[in-house]
Structure formats: C-alpha cells, structure tokens
C-alpha cells in the first residue's frame, strides 16, 4: 500500500455511519497525516481515534513567569506541527556530526501514523499567577467533588495537559518524550497514562471494546450537528472553536468482573456482551427502549444500568463526546494486571459531564467494579493559524 492522500485512509469514509463488523479493522495506514494549523477545530478530538495514546499533565515550576508559559506554548505549537508532519523537531543540521539536532531520533524514518497533539490549559494557570485571570475561559473551574470520587492528587489536575495519539506506539512515545523534554526548564511532569485499544469509535470505525469486554461508545456523538451543538464552543471570545476536555483515570476491578456471570454483566451494562445490542433490541445500533418491560413487568433495561443512566433521553438531551483509551499499569500489588479506562471526553460545557457523572457515580451498577482515581479539566483552545500559536490570545 502506497502513500494515500491525507484523510483518505480507513476510518474516514463518511458514507458509512454504521460499518459492518469487518469494515475497518483489517489494515492500518501509517502514512496518514493530519494538519495542525488553520483547522476549523483542534486535532485529536473529532479525529478517528488512533490505536495508541499517551496523556500527560505538567505543572509550571515555582517562579515561572508569564513569558515562560507564553514561550512554552509557542514552542510546543511549532513542535506539534512538525511532529504531526513526521518531521524531527528542532533544527536538523546537515553535518553528520550534529546529526538529528534536538530530536531524540527514535521516530526517524517512521511515518506520521495519524499522530495528533492536543494541548490543554488547566484552571490553575488562571489563578492570577500569570496575570491571566481576566482571560479565564468562562467555564474553566476545577471539577466539583463527585459521588464515588476516589482521587489522588498524584493522578489529578495539572497546569497543562498534552494528549498525543497515533497508530504507532513508537511515534506516540517519541512525541510526548520530545514535548516533555523541550519543556523541562519550565515544567515538571505530574501524571501520565499510556492508553491503547481506543475505547471509542470515530465515524466509520466499528465500536471498540473496553476491558470489561463490552462494546463501548455505540451511541457516541458522530454527526456534525451534534459536534456543533455539544462539543465546539461558540461565542466564547478567544476560545471560540475550542472545547473542554475532561479526563478521568478509572481503575477497573477486572478480576471481580471476570468472575461475574455474563448475564449479570449484561444487566449492569444494559447491552449484550457479544454483539452489543441493547437488551431491548436485537442489533448494536438499535435505539434502546428504556420503557420496555419484560414478562415479569420489570424494565428490560434496568434504570440503574450504565446505558440507561448515561442516555441523553434520560438526561435532558445532554451528550458528550467520549474519546478514551484502555490502559494497563502492569502487575499490581496483588499480582494481577492493573488495568482500567483512561476516560476522556469533550464538551462545550463541563457541567454536562458533571451532571452525567453525578448520576452515574450515585447509582450506576458498574460502580462496584470501577474506581475513579484521577481527574482533570482542561480548556482546549482552537487550532492556531499558521504563524501563530496555541493560546496566543492569552498574551495580547
């Protein structure tokens, strides 16, 4: 397979909205590139989820100045654009002595592999440390305490977030490594999660599975109208065209889950495990009928099932764009695979996530098997124009 035009790869065929099971899974085109500058929306959000992701947050070191933040955002912008073009960052010297210049080199010769870099601004940079209080995005506050929160500071929050996603893990690692490296005079790393096996589907992709073995994201936002209505910010001053990113590190007790009967698991999710159909229907994309009752007079889809609690029909029409990844942190203290979901969602009002999680955290049958250990909220500025940089409007 040779080089294809940008955007012409698998997963971008807008004519298929509900692909057959076998539609998108048999090949990955590593030559796909996404543009960084001059886009209607920032990269890495509507982009069909790549197979690998590294999420990292950073804190500016004590004593950092406003100009340090400004300079970092400018340098990250330039580097992100280069990385997404599969170019080594920094200056590449012609002499063999200088070699690859500032770039660490491990992605030399690799294609872009659909790399996207998505940079977020945390609430804490607007706490007047940098004289930016008047530029605070209107809805950017730390998330309130939510039911079932079990958060640790070590895996929560941050002044800045960076989400890199790619179809080649080495490309992904190279990007975050070099972005972290070029920033180390200005920031300290705070927490990171390495995700795999995208846990959401973009347009034209089949619905992937979470580590509970269930299809996840069947009813995710997919239409342009829904993106406009629920994801992108309108009339939001310098944030217009941007969005808000919520990140939750959710540990999953997969050992307990695996010991549960599949029929119980299906009751908890409200869907069949093998095919993902709502329990009130027969195929995955059947619209769930939450009012349907069985012969016993009970709701076929339990009102406290995951899909019932999360459904827009039961939440005043609210939708969020989920774009998470599975993760594993190796073997835990009990000798079992430590695994979970890096839940990432995008919405034009963080209160939408809060409303959903208040319900889920209080009543979801799934709570017995999950633990929210990390959390963060970040503002994602719009895609910068060529010659400009992310968040430039903060400093004008």
Choosing from 45, 81, 176, 366, the residue that interacts with a copy of itself (CB under 8 A) is 176
- Give 205 or 222: the residue with its C-beta nearer to a copy of itself: 205
DSSP secondary structure letter of residue 305: S
Counting contacts by CB under 8 A, is residue 105 touching a copy of itself? yes
CA distances from 322 to 56, 59, 108, 130, 388 (A): 18, 25, 32, 32, 29
- Do 32 and 39 contact (CB within 8 A), yes or no? no
CA distances from 245 to 17, 113, 257, 275 (A): 25, 23, 29, 30
Enclosing H/E stretch for 340: strand 337-347
**Across-strand partners of 110?**
none
Counting contacts by CB under 8 A, is residue 109 touching a copy of itself? yes
Q: How far is the CB of 161 from a copy of itself (least distance, A)?
A: 14
Choosing from 111, 159, 251, 364, the residue that interacts with a copy of itself (CB under 8 A) is 111
Counting contacts by CB under 8 A, is residue 85 touching a copy of itself? no
Judged by CB under 8 A, the stretch of 38-46, 227-235, 333-341, 387-395 that binds a copy of itself is: 333-341
Residues 201-230 close enough to bind a copy of itself by CB under 8 A? 206, 208-214
And the tokens for 347?
A: 């919405």
Judged by CB under 8 A, the stretch of 27-35, 68-76, 301-309, 355-363 that binds a copy of itself is: 27-35
Q: Which residues make Cβ contacts (< 8 Å) with residue 182, sequence separation at least 6?
A: 75, 76, 79, 89, 90, 102
- Give 70 or 189: the residue with its C-beta nearer to a copy of itself: 189
Rounded CA-CA distance 200/221 in Å is 10
- Do 63 and 50 contact (CB within 8 A), yes or no? no
Counting contacts by CB under 8 A, is residue 1 touching a copy of itself? yes
Rounded CA-CA distance 294/297 in Å is 5
The alpha carbon of residue 122 and the mean position of all alpha carbons in its chain are separated, in whole angstroms, by 15
Of 379, 387, 390, the C-alpha closest to 136 is 379
Counting contacts by CB under 8 A, is residue 173 touching a copy of itself? yes
Choosing from 69, 107, 321, 377, the residue that interacts with a copy of itself (CB under 8 A) is 107
CB atoms within 10 A of CB 87: 15
Counting contacts by CB under 8 A, is residue 315 touching a copy of itself? no
Counting contacts by CB under 8 A, is residue 139 touching a copy of itself? no
Counting contacts by CB under 8 A, is residue 253 touching a copy of itself? no
Residues 50-69 close enough to bind a copy of itself by CB under 8 A? 51-52, 56
- Do 120 and 344 contact (CB within 8 A), yes or no? no
Rounded CA-CA distance 19/25 in Å is 10
- Do 282 and 301 contact (CB within 8 A), yes or no? no
Counting contacts by CB under 8 A, is residue 96 touching a copy of itself? yes
Counting contacts by CB under 8 A, is residue 251 touching a copy of itself? no
Q: How far is the CB of 358 from a copy of itself (least distance, A)?
A: 28
Counting contacts by CB under 8 A, is residue 23 touching a copy of itself? no
Q: How far is the CB of 387 from a copy of itself (least distance, A)?
A: 29
- Give 160 or 233: the residue with its C-beta nearer to a copy of itself: 160
Choosing from 26, 134, 296, 333, the residue that interacts with a copy of itself (CB under 8 A) is 26
Judged by CB under 8 A, the stretch of 129-137, 180-188, 240-248, 369-377 that binds a copy of itself is: 180-188
Binding mask 260-279 for a copy of itself (x = CB under 8 A): --xx-xx-----xxx-----
CB atoms within 10 A of CB 70: 16
- Give 95 or 386: the residue with its C-beta nearer to a copy of itself: 95
Rounded CA-CA distance 46/323 in Å is 9
Task: Tell me the HSE value of 89 on the side-chain side, using a 13 A CA sphere.
Answer: 23
Choosing from 169, 226, 363, 371, the residue that interacts with a copy of itself (CB under 8 A) is 169
Counting contacts by CB under 8 A, is residue 104 touching a copy of itself? yes
Counting contacts by CB under 8 A, is residue 373 touching a copy of itself? no
Residues 277-306 close enough to bind a copy of itself by CB under 8 A? none
- Give 223 or 274: the residue with its C-beta nearer to a copy of itself: 274
Rounded CA-CA distance 229/177 in Å is 35
Q: How far is the CB of 31 from a copy of itself (least distance, A)?
A: 5
Of 331, 257, 269, the C-alpha closest to 306 is 269
């Amino acid at each position: 397979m040779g080089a294809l035009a940008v955007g012409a790869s698998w997963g971008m065929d807008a004519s298929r909205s509900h692909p057959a099971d076998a539609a998108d899974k048999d090949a990955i085109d590593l030559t796909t590139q996404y543009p960084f500058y001059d886009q209607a929306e920032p990269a890495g959000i509507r982009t069909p989820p790549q197979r690998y992701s590294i999420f990292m947050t950073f804190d500016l070191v004590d004593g950092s100045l406003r100009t340090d933040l400004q300079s970092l955002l400018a340098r990250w912008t330039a580097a992100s654009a280069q990385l997404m073009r599969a170019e080594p960052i920094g200056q590449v010297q012609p002499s063999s002595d200088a070699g690859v210049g500032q770039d660490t080199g491990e992605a030399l010769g690799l294609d872009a592999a659909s790399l996207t870099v998505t940079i977020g601004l945390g609430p804490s940079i607007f706490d007047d440390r940098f004289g930016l209080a008047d530029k605070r995005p209107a809805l950017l506050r730390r998330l309130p305490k939510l039911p079932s929160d079990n958060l640790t500071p070590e895996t929560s929050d941050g002044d800045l977030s960076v989400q890199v996603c790619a179809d080649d893990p080495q490309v992904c690692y190279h990007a975050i490594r070099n972005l972290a490296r070029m920033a180390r005079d200005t920031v300290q790393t705070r927490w990171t999660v390495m995700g795999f096996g995208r846990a959401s589907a973009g347009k034209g992709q089949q619905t992937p599975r979470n580590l509970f073995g269930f299809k996840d994201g069947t009813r995710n936002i997919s239409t342009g109208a829904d993106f406009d209505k629920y994801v992108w910010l309108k009339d939001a001053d310098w944030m217009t065209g941007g969005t808000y990113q919520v990140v939750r590190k959710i540990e999953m007790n997969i050992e307990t889950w695996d010991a549960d009967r599949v029929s119980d698991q299906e009751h908890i999710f409200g869907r069949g495990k093998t095919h993902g159909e709502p329990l009130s229907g027969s195929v995955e994309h059947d619209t769930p009928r939450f009012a349907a009752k069985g012969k016993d007079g009970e709701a076929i889809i339990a009102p406290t099932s995951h899909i019932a609690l999360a459904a827009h029909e039961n939440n005043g029409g609210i939708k969020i764009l989920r774009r998470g990844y599975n993760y594993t942190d190796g073997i835990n203290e009990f000798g079992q695979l430590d695994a979970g979901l890096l839940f990432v969602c995008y919405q034009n009002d963080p209160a939408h996530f809060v409303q959903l999680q208040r319900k889920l955290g209080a009543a979801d049958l799934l709570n017995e098997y999950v633990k929210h250990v990390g959390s963060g909220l970040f503002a994602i500025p719009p895609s910068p124009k060529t010659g400009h940089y992310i968040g430039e409007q903060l400093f004008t």
